[in-house]
Amino acid sequence: MIPTARFCRFVLPALIATLIANSAALAADWSIPLAGNTFRTAPEPGGNGAQRNGTIVWNDPEAVLSVFFHVDRAAEIELAMTASASNGRAVLKACVAEKCFESVIDSEELSEQHIGRIKVEAPGYVRVDLQGAERTGGNFGELKDLVISSDTDGLKVDFVRNNDGGMFYWGRRGPSVHLSYQVPRDVDLRYAYSEITVPEGQDPIGTFYMANGFGQGYFGMQVNGPQERRVLFSIWSPFKTDNPRDIPEDQRIVALARGPKVHIGEFGNEGSGGQSYLVYPWKAGRTYRFLTKVVPDGKGNTVYTSWFGDKAADEWILIASFRRPKTDTHLRGFHSFLESFDPSRGHLARRAFYGNVWVCDVEDNWHECPQARFTVDPTGRNRHRLDFTGGTAGNRFFLRNCGFFDETGTPGRIFTREAADVAEPEISFDQLPSE
């Protein structure tokens, strides 16, 4: 049958348009910027080779650079990358689980190089490992984006989308998670008490386990290096700046006391103020206790003092005492958090238990804190990273972040833990190391 002129003029173009529209509806693609979503995972964590122009460049054949993205359902996915080889021909190996592909990069201009097709069996994070196989030049090429496409209906893909506001840095650090404790209302509070236990294997370098946070500062413990761990206590100045040198003299944090071997200094970049830290070899698997005192001095200032110790050893160590000017308050905004502060290790898992949480009022009455509100920072809230959660485990809260695990918590959720299996903290305040 020969098509009529009317069919060719009206029906055929409409049919073609419908087919194109249906095809577009079934196929989608995403360009994942490598600079913000790639980690060196072998032979050890390190820089990911990111350049100022957003490309990734490396020359170590032993290095494995891993790219992570999240899918919300099982899917068939085509993988490609935008890359160039102005320095010489290179061959890259890309592996997803047990399936590996090789791609040749020989174009001097950025162009799309096909990798292969994978099947993702369940929702969660997908890891693509990139490793140099061969090269004739000084590096394995310049890689810009991992390009994925899929005709899986309704597929949603999440990753660090761009570098607006320095998001590549924040996204590689990973999401920070918080517990805001519910405390008695209309009561003046003087002390905050909590305990932290970090499970073995959940203490990578670049982690801050913050125990006692409040409206004007924070107190917790860190992993700063292979041989160094710290207990950190800091107070923000009431003067808002990221440069401590800009703080006027009458708004500076004043150190009133310090414990043995405690370093006193200043901090900046995320607000500014007074900082103290003790190099202390705390260990995963042990429980440590934190006590913070907040007392207005009646002269328009407030004094903050913190003590730390190994619970099993019945130890108390004075960290420091600071005076904050232009401040007249008791303890407010009691909270804890878990944070990664090293972007080269944002792919490593962290977890901590926060237990035996109490506050003590100005009449020396203790109040247990069995409820906490769970929140996450903009990295998680805006879906750049979804590897964050929190909850309860018996009579303790827990926080978990980083590691690209497949569970995502619900910000705003209220957790209620079981009551503590011990009575209120037994602390002789007048016998604590002197302020």
Average pLDDT of the chain to the nearest whole number? 92
Residue 314 has pLDDT above 70, yes or no: yes
pLDDT in tens, 256-268: 999 999 999 988 8
Place of tokens 């959720």: 413
Is residue 6 a part of any domain in this protein? no
Comparing C-alpha atoms, which of 319, 119, 56, 120 is closest to residue 212? 319
Question: Nearest-5° angle of CA 244, CA 247, CA 248?
Answer: 155
CA 384 → CA 38, 110, 186, 221, 295, distances in Å? Answer: 13, 25, 39, 26, 40
Residue 18 in this model has a pLDDT that exceeds 80: no
Compute the distance between CA of residue 377 and CA of residue 385 in angstroms, rounded to an integer: 10
Please work out, in degrees rounded to the nearest 5, the angle formed at the alpha carbon of residue 334 by the alpha carbons of 426 and 329.
95
Residues 199 and 244 in one domain: yes
20 lies in some domain: no
Where does a domain end: 101, 135, 159? 159
Q: Are residues 141 and 193 in the same domain?
A: no
214 inside domain: yes
Range(s) of the domain holding residue 122 = 28-159
Mean pLDDT over residues 29-34, rounded? 97
In a domain, 4, yes or no: no
Cα–Cα distance measured from residue 182 to residue 262, given in angstroms and rounded to the nearest whole number: 31
**Residue 309 pLDDT class (50, 70, 90 cuts):** very high
- Per-residue pLDDT at 135: 94
pLDDT exceeds cutoff 50 at 129: yes
Closest among 116, 113, 119, 128 to 155, alpha carbons compared: 119
pLDDT per position as a tens digit, 65-75: 999 999 999 99
Mean pLDDT of 400-416: 97
- Is the same domain home to 34 and 148? yes
CA distance 214 to 312: 26
Specify the 3-state DSSP secondary structure of 21: helix
Burial class (CB in 10 A: 0-12, 13-18, 19+), 311: middle
Determine which of 126-135, 185-194, 206-215, 262-271 has the lowest per-residue pLDDT on average: 262-271
- Spatial contact of 359 and 192, defined as CB atoms under 8 Å apart: yes
Pair 355, 259 in one domain: yes
DSSP string, 28-58: EEEEEEHHHHEEEEESS-----B-TTS-EE-
Question: Model confidence over 148-160: pLDDT tens digits?
Answer: 999 999 999 999 9
CA distance 203 to 220: 14
In a domain, 22, yes or no: no
Q: What are residue 257's DSSP bridge partners?
A: 321
Q: What integer pLDDT is reported at residue 13 of this predicted model? A: 52
103-118 average pLDDT score: 93
Confidence of residue 378 (pLDDT cuts 50, 70, 90): very high
What number is the average pLDDT over the span 236-259?
92
Q: What is the DSSP letter of 205?
A: S
User: Distances from the Cα of 421 to the Cαs of 89, 356, 370, in angstroms?
Assistant: 65, 9, 12
Beta-strand (E) ranges in 97-184? 99-105, 111-120, 124-135, 142-150, 157-158, 177-181
Greater confidence, 39 or 2? Answer: 39
Sorted by sequence, the CB contacts under 8 Å of residue 292 that are 6+ apart come out as 191, 192, 193, 212, 214, 219, 304, 305, 306, 307, 331
Q: Are 152 and 266 contained in the same domain?
A: no
Q: Are residues 230 and 343 in the same domain?
A: yes
Inform me whether the pLDDT recorded for 20 exceeds 50.
Answer: no
Same domain, 183 and 126: no
- In terms of domains, do 191 and 140 share one? no
- The model's pLDDT over 264-290, given as tens digits with 9 standing for 90+, comes to 998 888 788 899 999 999 999 999 999
* Cα torsion angle, 168, 173, 175, 176, sign: negative
In a domain, 3, yes or no: no
In a domain, 345, yes or no: yes
CA distance 357 to 126: 37
> Which of 159, 189, 206 is the last residue before a domain boundary?
159
CATH number for the domain harbouring residue 78: 2.60.120.260
- For the residues 41-46, what does the mean pLDDT come to? 95
Query: 3 preceded by cis ω (within 30°)?
Result: no
Of 102, 133, 159, the residue that ends a domain is 159
Q: Is 140 helix (H, G, I), strand (E, B) or coil?
A: coil
Domain count, the chain: 2
What residues pair up with 353 in beta bridges, in sequence order? Answer: 197, 398
Residues 398-408, mean pLDDT to the nearest whole number: 97
Q: Do residues 61 and 179 share a domain?
A: no
Q: At residue 8, does pLDDT exceed 50?
A: no
Is the model's pLDDT at 401 over the cut of 70?
yes
What value does the CA radius of gyration of the chain take, rounded to a whole number of Å?
27
Residue 24: which pLDDT band, with cuts at 50, 70 and 90?
A: very low
Co-location of 131 and 189 in the same domain? no
Q: Are residues 207 and 117 in the same domain?
A: no
Domain presence at residue 187: yes
pLDDT band at 3 (very low <50, low <70, confident <90, very high): low
Same domain, 152 and 179: no
Mean predicted confidence (pLDDT) in 334-358: 97
pLDDT digits (tens, 9 = 90+) for 197-230: 999 999 999 999 999 999 999 999 999 999 999 9
